[in-house]
A and B are shown apart, each in its own frame.
Chain A
Amino acid sequence: MAEHLLVIENLHKTFGATEVLRGVDLNVDSGDVVSIIGSSGSGKTTLLRCVNMLEDYHEGRVLIDGEEIGYTRHDGKRVRLPNSTIARQRALTGMAFQTFNLFPHLTALKNVTLGLVKVRGLAKDEAVGIARRWLDRVGMLDRQDHYPSQLSGGQQQRVAIARAIAMNPKLMLFDEVTSALDPELVNEVLNVIRDLARDGMTMLLVTHEMRFAYDVSTTVIFMHEGRIHEAGPPSEVFIRPRTPRLAEFIQNSSFRA
């Protein structure tokens, strides 16, 4: 059996008394585009954040290319890995956030080169070359010397995506990347992601853009109350939902086939 790129097994996560994830299993293969949909509070963002250990979890495993992320087993007990190891593992994935989180004190170019130089240890020239290539790819090369405050939300998000992708991650995580954008800026960001998907980038995305999820995904996952309630190719999930819960969710969404 060929190994999956990402394996999530029986993931459990609680915040205080609330159990946000109640046993999630998911396999993602290289080249897959997996969209996670569901109402707020269903645990979709938390699931994404467990994959790169922005959240600790309490039970289960996450493996990328067979390597367990965040924890190791010691005499049958789970032990959290040292922060330096987790930092290295985080570079296996890239993430784009709802709020962009560009570094405001750095230009667009320096936002991208920071990780290349400090984490991947590239020489400055090489880092600049890679950064410029990716900024060009997201249509932001002409703004490379602008600071985030001088860019629109859509432009900031495109730089943030370039910053993540330039690190050459095996898997990209997109956390509601268009939710904070003005409607007229949504498409420029979605087009960048669509373009990356066409190139075979493996990605896991949490989104409210149903039409977009329908168009780009290989698999769509519907989360409800901390579990994967239904999963399948978009044509099934959106057009022929099997459960009433999903049917209702699709009905209430903006999705029209």
Chain B
Amino acid sequence: MELTQFLNEAWLSRGAIWDGFVMTVAISALAIVLGTVLGLFVGIALVYGWRPLRFLVRLYVDFIRGTPVFVLVLASFYILSVVGIDLTAFQAGVLAITVFCSSHVGEMLRGALAAIHRGQTEAAMTIGLTFRQTFLYVLLPQALRQILPTWVNAATEMVKASTLLSVIGVAELLLATQQIISRNFLSLEFYFLAGFIYFVIDFSIERLGRWVERKLAYS
């Protein structure tokens, strides 16, 4: 391979790569934020929900977790239009990954809440905190710290899952890369470049997560 040729091509396609990168970050960030918010409600419903609600949410979580993300993306893309919900491919894709993220965050939160020692609730109750206060000030902060490492890991999974949107035509980093390759046939080099950019994104998230974890440590 000609390194100068690759560098030249890379320079020429810098705009497309940048746009793809921005799209990837947008998809991932949206899905992670929305999925986490939804997931917190899912987790709360799994632990404290009224029985029939708990059952429905459990069904939702198990169904989503048993289905490949790729199937979620395709289903979301194809199904929503026939039921009259007009979403762009971008929106349908983000929705699928959000749903995927929410089921994982929900399950994490459920596990973390269930693992908190009963004495914490009792101690909170004995100083007169209501259930809502106990949850907000005692249980939730502990559970969130507990799930932080797993959550960071899930966040990197969402970045990886964002590549699936290339298949439904969202011009994120992977599709941008493929388009570049279809012009210059430097598949090895540009897949490498794409892989490297994903690596940098995931690695940065992981580092950021470790840093936050250290900041929040009980010390």
Q: How far is the CA of A147 from the CA of B218 in the complex (A)?
A: 6
Q: How far is the CA of A118 from the CA of B129 in the complex (A)?
A: 7
Q: B219 at interface (Cβ–Cβ under 8 A)?
A: yes
Using known A-B contacts A54-B122, A147-B219, determine if residue A167 contacts B128 with beta carbons closer than 8 Å: yes
Cβ-neighbour of B137 out of A102, A114, A150, A167 (below 8 A): A114
Contact A83 B123 (CB under 8 A): no
Binds B, one of A22-30, A31-39, A92-100, A232-240: A92-100
Contact B141 A105 (CB under 8 A): yes
Interface residues of B in 148-165 (CB under 8 A from A): none
Using known A-B contacts A91-B128, A114-B127, determine if residue A97 contacts B219 with beta carbons closer than 8 Å: no
Which B residues are CB-close (under 8 A) to A103?
120, 123-124, 138, 142
Q: A163 at interface (Cβ–Cβ under 8 A)?
A: yes
Q: How far is the CA of A163 from the CA of B128 in the complex (A)?
A: 12
Contact B129 A119 (CB under 8 A): yes
Using known A-B contacts A97-B122, A114-B137, determine if residue A163 contacts B218 with beta carbons closer than 8 Å: no
Q: A191 at interface (Cβ–Cβ under 8 A)?
A: no
Q: B48 at interface (Cβ–Cβ under 8 A)?
A: no
Interface residues of B in 205-219 (CB under 8 A from A): 218-219
Contact B123 A97 (CB under 8 A): yes
Which A residues are CB-close (under 8 A) to B122?
54, 95, 97, 101
Contact A91 B127 (CB under 8 A): yes
Contact B127 A167 (CB under 8 A): yes
Q: Which residue of B lies closest to A92 (CB)?
A: B128
Q: A149 at interface (Cβ–Cβ under 8 A)?
A: yes
Q: A84 at interface (Cβ–Cβ under 8 A)?
A: yes
Which A residues are CB-close (under 8 A) to B127?
90-91, 94, 114-115, 119, 163-164, 167
Interface residues of B in 96-133 (CB under 8 A from A): 117, 119-120, 122-131, 133
Which A residues are CB-close (under 8 A) to B218?
104-105, 147-150
Give 1 or 0 for each of A132-149: 1 = CB within 8 Å of chain B CB: 000000000000000111
Using known A-B contacts A103-B138, A114-B137, determine if residue A88 contacts B119 with beta carbons closer than 8 Å: no
Which B residues are CB-close (under 8 A) to A87?
125, 128-131
Q: Give the total of A residues in contact with B, Cβ under 8 Å.
A: 31
Q: How far is the CA of A83 from the CA of B121 in the complex (A)?
A: 14
Give 1 or 0 for each of A36-66: 1 = CB within 8 Å of chain B CB: 0000000000000000101000000000000
Q: How far is the CA of A90 from the CA of B137 in the complex (A)?
A: 18
Contact B123 A101 (CB under 8 A): yes
Contact A54 B141 (CB under 8 A): no
Q: How far is the CA of A44 from the CA of B96 in the complex (A)?
A: 55
Q: Which residue of B lies closest to A116 (CB)?
A: B127
Which A residues are CB-close (under 8 A) to B142?
103-105
Q: B145 at interface (Cβ–Cβ under 8 A)?
A: yes
Using known A-B contacts A104-B218, A118-B133, A147-B219, determine if residue A90 contacts B123 with beta carbons closer than 8 Å: no
Q: How far is the CA of A149 from the CA of B128 in the complex (A)?
A: 24
Q: How far is the CA of A252 from the CA of B129 in the complex (A)?
A: 41
Contact B128 A88 (CB under 8 A): yes
Which A residues are CB-close (under 8 A) to B123?
95, 97, 101-103, 160, 163
Nearest CB on B from A228, distance (A): 24
Q: Top 5 nearest A-B pairs by Cβ distance?
A: A91-B128, A115-B127, A101-B123, A101-B119, A147-B218
What is the interface of chain B, defined by CB distance below 8 A to chain A?
A: 117, 119-120, 122-131, 133, 137-138, 141-142, 145, 218-219
Given A99-B119, A115-B129, A118-B129: 7 more A-B contacts, CB < 8 Å:
A94-B127, A95-B126, A97-B119, A118-B137, A147-B218, A147-B219, A167-B127
Query: Can you name 11 A-B residue pairings with CB atoms under 8 Å?
Result: A90-B125, A91-B128, A97-B123, A114-B138, A115-B129, A118-B137, A119-B128, A119-B129, A119-B133, A163-B127, A164-B126
What is the interface of chain A, defined by CB distance below 8 A to chain B?
A: 52, 54, 83-84, 87-88, 90-91, 93-95, 97, 99, 101-105, 114-115, 118-119, 147-150, 160, 163-164, 167, 173
